[in-house]
Amino acid sequence: MTRLWYGGDYNPDQWDESVWKEDADLMRQAGVNLVTVGVFSWSSLEPSPGVYEFGWLDRVLDRLYDAGVSVDLATPTASPPPWFSRLHPEALPVTADGVRLTHGSRDTYCACAPGYRSAAVGIARALAERYHDHPALAMWHVHNEYGTTCYCSLAAERFRSWLLERYGSLERLNAAWTTAFWSQGYSDWQDVQPPRRTQYLVNPTQYLDYRRFWSDELLAAYREQKAELRALSSLPITTNYVFGGWVPVNHAQWAAEVDVVAIDHYPGRTDLGAEEQTAFGADLARSWAGGNPWLLMEQAAGALNDGQRLHPKEPGRMARNSLSHIARGSTGSLFFQWRASRGGAEMYHSALVPHAGPSSRIFREVVALGAALPSLAEVADAAVVADVAILWDVECWWAMQGTHLPSSSLDYLAAVQDAHRHFWRAGVTVDFAGPSADLSSYQTVVVPSLYLVSDEAAASLAAYVEGGGQLVVGYFSGIVDPDVQVRLGGYPGAFRELLGVRVEEFHPLPADGEVELSSGGRGRLWSEDVEAVSAEVVDRYVGGVLDGKPAITRRQVGEGTAWYVSTAIDFETAAGIYDLSPSPVETVRRRAGDTTWTFYFNHGDAQVDVPTDGVELISGARVDGSLLVPGGGYAVVRSP
């Protein structure tokens, strides 16, 4: 039976058993069918070393089973208990400044510490042994949001082994890291350290390698737990991805190791930007999943936090955002958390059952969404249709987080988000793709600020254009190789020939600066002294030292076209390149066989009449030629 998962993190160990019965009743009322249990329960499960208390979890799982709620059973390894830190002080993490953290929050461990790794495997094994055949189980959830970095001496040792594996010799490492600069040449492996806090600018390749290393190390930690679970269970195993600049995880690479890609999504914006971020996060998740279904493991039922304060989600937004994820391939909508905590660090985080209890707007909306989701289940396996892909490469993001760039305004994530936003504002669905992905199915591929690129990826992009694709390469692309070394002879090194341009000098703009373009558009952040060697000039800089010089170029290559955009363009300029027009209605299409499902999200205030035929799934109403989508509303239409 195809169904969409609905529910979220359930933390019954924070509550008296008398509350559990109400939980089960309310879950049934809300149509909840999956809860993540035990994700931060290590000290409840193993209150002292080797002493397990499974009785409460037995009763919780039995009760959930009786209520028809499936369980995503988590290993609690993102928060070791206090006794663990007492017995393993060497496993407490050390910051880049050399400060060893103490117990008192979560994620206070170093994943390189052997003591931590064996304890994590131990509790995972104990859970697998006890629950592998429990009938409530639907899925395993390893850890929570892998993403911590540590700079301790144990991490330094592991880093050295990783480097030895990558480079084979100090000589090769010295060459890759350009250690001749500032007398950093290594003659003994013991001298190689993590990029801890230092006097001035950090070595860019050392910095990037430390991220690459942590991604591999955390993946190894995940794999060890997965092996314990797999030995006893054939159920899907996953871990919930967290996305952020601090996260040293290559999610695209990890996707090969999870049975279902699962993400947590908390927009940092609270206005329309949150809708765009929702689309962005979901499109990224789908790309990690290789276009296959994935799962929204966590989102907020209520208030969003912009870092300063909470902003309540206005009525309807929770359901609209849930559908936005489902439209883009999520097989459900899960939340942190089921019941708002009475105390603890996140007591004011919203929940499906808020502090006010079930007699509340949020819970009424939760029940309404739970009632609507079954009618959408038929989309679960259909493929999302997109003609445009935007390139996303986490290594490029990491490289651009180094301290060596020619402008502090260069921001890879922001450049990719800008590109995504241009299409989103026109209601067009895009995929993300990795740098070496097969792009042949796309009409257009956008490559924002791909600063770091390998020869293979550059060749694959060239082949895409030669095969008839339209490639649009953004400013500050193709500059360095995977060792963060400049490709000489003129920027944008790796793409110079393909684009038919040569850049001798960067002209970064002030953070709030703009430059006029001859088309009437405007550029921000960045400009370059571009020579159109074998490309046609589409747009030029107006005024300043670059007056009259090419800003946007286009080159015919075989059947395809390769564009170069040397500044951060506005929507109007992008609309000219991609033939877009702004639309308040975002449209996402899914297709399976001869059937198409179209999701419409109206982000405007006024109702919009969209031309379509079929059946609207939530209301069950027939649609003949036209459908009214109210302001802030949404609809899903199945058409033959």
Q: Does 298 bind ligand GAL (CB under 6 A)?
A: yes
Choose, by CB under 6 A, the member of 243, 336, 338, 563 that binds ligand GAL. Answer: 336
349 binds ligand GAL (CB under 6 A): yes
Structure-token pair, residue 601 = 């999200």
Assigned token pair, 560: 């395809």
Point out the catalytic residue in the list 46, 228, 275, 298. 298
Rounded Cα–Cα distance for residues 153 and 112 (Å): 9
Q: Which is nearer to ligand GAL, 340 or 394 (CB)?
A: 340
According to DSSP, the residues that pair with 388 across neighbouring strands are 430, 444
- For ligand GAL, the closer CB: 83 or 266: 266
From the CB of 5, what's the least distance to ligand GAL, in Å? 17
Q: Which of 145, 275, 395, 586 is catalytic?
A: 145
Check residue 46 for interaction with ligand GAL (CB under 6 A): no
CA 233, 236, 242, 248: dihedral to nearest 10 degrees? 60
Q: What's the token pair of residue 342?
A: 């009475």
**528-532 vs 536-542, strand pairing mode:** unpaired
Q: Which residue number, 140 or 336, has a Cβ lying nearer to ligand GAL? A: 336
What is the rounded CA–CA span in Å between residue 29 and residue 637?
Answer: 27
Contact 18, 60 (CB under 8 A): no
Cβ 306 to ligand GAL, closest distance in Å?
13
Q: Order across the sheet with 330-335: list the strands.
A: 237-238, 137-141, 70-74, 34-37, 5-10, 330-335, 294-298, 262-264, 240-241
Distance CA 364, CA 339 (A): 14
Measured CA to CA in angstroms, residue 9 lies from 81, 226, 557 at distances of 19, 20, 52
- Annotate each residue in 248-287 with x if it binds ligand GAL (CB under 6 A) or - if it does not, as one string: ----------------x-x---------------------
53 is catalytic: no
Binding to ligand GAL by residue 417, rule CB under 6 A?
Answer: no
Binding residue count for ligand GAL, defined by CB under 6 A: 9
For the segment 113-172, give every residue that binds ligand GAL (CB under 6 A).
Answer: 144-145
Nearer to ligand GAL, 105 or 581 (CB): 105
Nearest distance, CB of residue 201 and ligand GAL, angstroms: 31
What residues between 376 and 395 interact with ligand GAL by CB under 6 A? none
CB of 609 to ligand GAL, least distance (A): 38
CA 126 vs. chain centroid, Å, equals 31
Task: Choose which of 60, 64, 128, 242 interacts with ligand GAL (CB under 6 A).
Answer: 242
432 to 471: interface string for ligand GAL, x by CB under 6 A: ----------------------------------------
Alpha carbons within 13 angstroms on the beta-carbon side of residue 514 total 7
Strand order, beta sheet including 595-602: 383-385, 585-592, 595-602, 634-639, 613-616, 622-624
536 annotated active-site: no
Which residue minimizes CB distance to ligand GAL? Answer: 336
Q: State the nearest-atom distance from the C-beta of 266 to ligand GAL, in Å.
A: 5
Q: Which residues bind ligand GAL (CB under 6 A)?
A: 144-145, 242, 264, 266, 298, 336, 346, 349
Tell me which residues are annotated as active site. 145, 298
